Amino acid sequence: MSLISTPSRRRATTAVLAAALLVPLAACGKSGGDDKKDATGSSASPSASAAPAANLTVLAASSLTDVFKTAGDVYQKTHPGTKITFSFAGSQELAAQVKQGAPADAVATADTKTMDGLKAETGDATIIAKNRLVIATGKENPYKIGALKDLADPKIKVVLAAPEVPVGKYSKQILDAQKIEVKPVSQEPNVRAVLSKVELGEADAGLVYKTDTIKSGDKVVSVDIPDEQNVVASYPVATLKQSKNAEAAAAFLAWLSSPEGQRILQDAGFQKP
């Protein structure tokens, strides 16, 4: 048998070396693809900080004032480039602002009825939290108010939210259901105004959300209302169709439903949606 010529040997050696080089390259390519997979083999989701940077304006119900400020601070720290400005008011005022074309990106109301009235101006709404009403009384509860029926006492100065405000509607609903007649000394444009009247001693009692009295601390006494006499307030959020930052606004609203967002809401006394 004749020996392989020198040129043939060189060609064979070259082919072997080329094949050997292709093996690690193929392995590297496979490894790179796997880096984009999670443990289940599906594509890994982008990090939260990948949300689009934008300056957002969010219209929100007064009872969300403190918790949304906290949530906004946390969100901005974890989402560089995003700045959130909140505008707080009664839900009925927010609805009027939206219908008048106020420059905003999202809205959060304290009831579903108000949000339902904005369907032409918003995307799909999502409920992020729930709340309940309580009786807020002055320090040490001097009139010993312990139930809704006590608010009918003419000696007690009671302040309520106006009937067009969600908390005002809820207040009327639970008082009417118990056939309790209350003559308020004033009707306020939002729940924070009701709370303020009680804190300042300008009223002896008022109906507010449980979360408001938690934030108020020892300025007022909170008297629980039994579930069978109470109502559950739902908080829906939605992006505005006119928003120029729709993707960034949607990312923030979605974050409010995330474990981190929910922890902040529930730490403030809100209930799970």
Between CA 15 and CA 22, with CA 17 as vertex, the angle to 5 degrees is 95
Has residue 22 been placed in a domain?
A: no
Residue 140, domain extent = 131-232
Within a domain: 187: yes
> What gap in Å lies between CA 66 and CA 76, rounded to an integer?
16
Complete DSSP assignment for 109-149: -SSHHHHHTTTTTB---EEEEEEEEEEEESTT-TT---SGG
What 8-state DSSP symbol labels residue 221?
A: E
In a domain, 250, yes or no: yes
In degrees and rounded to multiples of 5, residue 80 shows phi and psi of -55, 140
In a domain, 273, yes or no: no
The predicted-structure confidence for 71-85, as pLDDT tens digits, reads as follows 999 999 999 999 999
Q: In terms of pTM, does the model score above 0.75?
A: yes
> pLDDT value at position 216?
86
Same domain, 99 and 109: yes
The percent helix, strand, coil of the chain (3-state, each to 5) is: 45, 20, 35
- Whether residues 92 and 223 share a domain: the answer is no
For residue 38, tell me if it sits in a domain. Answer: no
Please indicate, yes or no, whether residues 121 and 242 belong to a single structural domain of this protein: yes
196, 186 Cβ separation under 8 angstroms: no
Let me know whether 257 and 173 are in one domain.
Answer: no
Same domain membership, residue 239 and residue 159: no
**By three-state DSSP, how is residue 228 classified?**
helix
224, 254: one domain? no
Together in a domain, 161 and 207: yes
CA angle 113/192/166 to nearest 5° reads 15
Angle at CA 68, nearest 5°, toward 63 and 69? 115
Specify the pLDDT at position 29.
Answer: 38
- Tell me how far apart the alpha carbons of residues 9 and 77 are, in angstroms, rounded to a whole number: 65
CA proximity to 137, closest of 119, 153, 114: 153
Q: Do residues 74 and 84 lie in contact, with contact meaning Cβ atoms separated by under 8 Å?
A: no
The answer to whether 235 touches 96, Cβ cutoff 8 Å, is no
DSSP one-letter code for 4? P
Using DSSP's 3-state secondary structure scheme, residue 255 falls into helix
CATH number of the domain at 76, please: 3.40.190.10
For residues 135 and 124, membership in a common domain is answered with no
In a shared domain, residues 125 and 242 = yes
Each residue's pLDDT tens digit, 3-38 = 334 444 444 434 433 344 333 333 333 333 333 333
Note whether 106 and 173 are same-domain residues.
Answer: no
Residue 107, helix vs strand vs coil: strand
* pLDDT at position 70: 97
The reply to whether 3 falls in a domain is no
In a domain, 200, yes or no: yes
Number of domains in the chain: 2
CA–CA separation, 186 and 183 (whole Å): 9
Question: Which residue stretches of the chain have pLDDT < 50?
Answer: 1-49
Cα–Cα distance, 137 to 216 (Å, whole number): 11
Q: Which residues contact 49 (CB under 8 A, 6 or more apart)?
A: 78, 79, 80
Query: Is 24 in a helix, a strand, or coil?
Result: helix
* Model pLDDT, residue 52: 73
Structure tokens at 136: 């807020």
Residue 178 sits in the same domain as residue 104: no
- CA separation for the pair 254, 26 (Å, rounded): 40
* Shared-domain flag, residues 241 and 123: yes
For residue 43, tell me if it sits in a domain.
no
